[in-house]
Amino acid sequence: MHPLTHERIRHLTRRQFFGRTATGLGGAALASLLGAPAASAAPAGGGLPGLPHFAPRARRAIYLFMVGAPSQIDLFDYKPKMADLFDKDIPDSIRMGQRLTTMTSGQTRFPIAPSIYGFRQYGPGGAWISELLPWTARMAGDIAIVRSLHTDAINHEPAVTFMNTGSQIAGRACLGSWLSYGLGSMNDNLPAFVVLHARHSNPKSNVQAISARLWSSGPLPAEHSGVALRSGGDAVLYLGDPPGVTRDRRRAMLDGVQALHRTSFDQVGDPAIQARIAQYEMAFRMQASVPELTDLSGEPESVNALYGPEAKEPGTFAHSALMARRMIERGVRFVQVYHRGWDQHGNLPRDLPQQCRDVDRAGYALVQDLKVRGLLDDTLVIWGGEFGRTVYCQGALKRDDYGRDHHPRNFAMWMAGGGVKAGLSLGETDDFSYNITKDPIHVRDLHATILHLLGIDHRRLGFKFQGLDQRLTGVEPAHVVPALMA
């Protein structure tokens, strides 16, 4: 028995203790433990001292990730001249011998497959949007469409990883983890970074793998990893008490455990015990707050009408979009929704329309819902995939049927809210949607811009690992894109 006296802790009441623990461990208490002077710079919500670096335009973000690479030519990058070039080979002057995937590098011809979908201009900026996205078209005035993104990777696995972490190789921290690490959390009861998996409804769509590495914190402390919220079973892994264990029983158990923890802390004096006490209380609260989060019964009929009937079905994209809004309301910093099935190497006309139907209305609804609630101003919404698709056809080309290979040289995304210039169409490509002709934006630039909108200088958010300052934007130059910002 080693009785210890620890003045600061011993004289606190339980209630004060928790208040102090939860706030103090992030900043003040830590600082006093270290004796560092004036650590008041530490924000109350955790995160790093000195962050945000400047006034943020967005305080939180929702990233709708279309895994598989949606075809920019069929959705946002209108190329009317292609109609006359059906089945003509793409000129060498355009293709310039650049690398192809091994799926089409063996093709003897690269025949042009014009999009069979109609485009019209929408919104005050006259953005071109395909007939496949009628709801997105309605909110053309709310979103900024970027048509000149480009990436380094040509295959899904590395490209999705690159889009999330700034590196093609697994192991780096992802965007959401950087935000959680840098900015901290804004709520008591839920994780700062949540991941949702929305199912695609077309069983024939070509599906790409994703993996836990995409929401991994990499070298950052592991608590910044995304927590995957599930549509079946426990919404958070292991959230539900075992059968026969009621809330009261759990509380009674926990009271005993915490009493023993306090004794233990008196004897051992290890601050890790305090952390454990706080963590157990947080877990207990989460057990209540997550079911409240996922219970949609309190949503008004107007919301159901906005998102459509699918919003009531757990696992659909519409449901995920609604959940994203609910989480944002409750102070979750970053929500990432994955929707798979966008890899149209063949049968594009069979599969792409249904992919679009899965997400179009819900994307619109989410933006409108945020707007109505006054959340859009400081919530950044991002929609897009990992690269683009080729204008030339993969496989057999017919008038009404074609497929497209991977195309890293340009692709399109849209963004809304959080300081993004609404109604904007940014960037141009050549007549073939093959090379960028104006305002190229590299994935690194996108990352720098997203961080900037959230009040972060991408050069100054780093983490020492393997001797280097790891950053989302890596070591190559990256530029914030002012044109994208309101």
Question: Within 194-233, which residues bind another protein (CB under 8 A)?
Answer: 197, 207-213, 216, 221-224, 227-228, 230, 232-233
Q: Which of 223, 266, 280, 289 is nearest to 18 (CA)?
A: 280
Tell whether residue 68 is a contact of another protein (CB under 8 A): no
Q: Give the nearer residue to another protein in terms of CB position, either 86 or 280.
A: 280
Residue among 66 and 129 whose Cβ is closer to another protein: 66
The DSSP code for 331 is T
Residue 155 binds to another protein (criterion: CB under 8 A): yes
* Interface with another protein, residue 236, by CB under 8 A: yes
Does 26 engage in binding with another protein (CB under 8 A)? yes
Which residues from 433-472 bind another protein, rule CB under 8 A?
Answer: 459-460, 464, 466-468
Question: Binding of another protein at residue 12 (CB under 8 A)?
Answer: no
Asked if residue 483 binds another protein (CB under 8 A), the reply is no
Which of 12, 45, 350, 479 binds another protein (CB under 8 A)? It is 45
| Least distance (Å) between residue 437 CB and another protein | 24
Nearest-angstrom CA–CA distance, 422 and 403: 32
Q: Which residues of 428-444 are buried (b: 16+ CB within 10 A; e: fewer)?
A: ebbebbbbbeebbbbbb
Scanning residues 243 to 302, which ones bind another protein (CB under 8 A)?
243-246, 248-250, 252-253, 255-257, 259-261, 263-264, 267-276, 278-280, 282-284, 286-287
Q: Dihedral sign for Cα 177, 179, 184, 189, please.
A: negative
Number of helices (H) and strands (E) in the chain: give both, helices first: 14, 17
User: What token pair was written down for 483?
Assistant: 């044109």
Q: Per-residue x/- mask for another protein, residues 92 to 131, rule CB under 8 A?
A: -------x-xxx----------------------------
The residues facing 413 across adjacent strands are: 146
CB of 372 to another protein, least distance (A): 24
**Does 238 sit near another protein (CB under 8 A)?**
yes
The alpha carbon torsion through 31, 35, 37, 41 (nearest 10 deg) reads: 0
Which residues, 314 to 373, sit near another protein by CB under 8 A? none
What is the distance between the alpha carbons of residues 309 and 350, in angstroms, rounded to a whole number? 23
Binder of another protein out of 41, 96, 237, 372 (CB under 8 A): 237
**Got the DSSP string for 80-133?**
GGGGGGTTPBPPHHHHTT----TTTTT-S--BB----S-EEEETTTTEEEETT-
Letter for the amino acid at 161?
Answer: T
Number of residues near another protein (by CB under 8 A): 120
Contact between 30 and another protein per CB under 8 A = yes
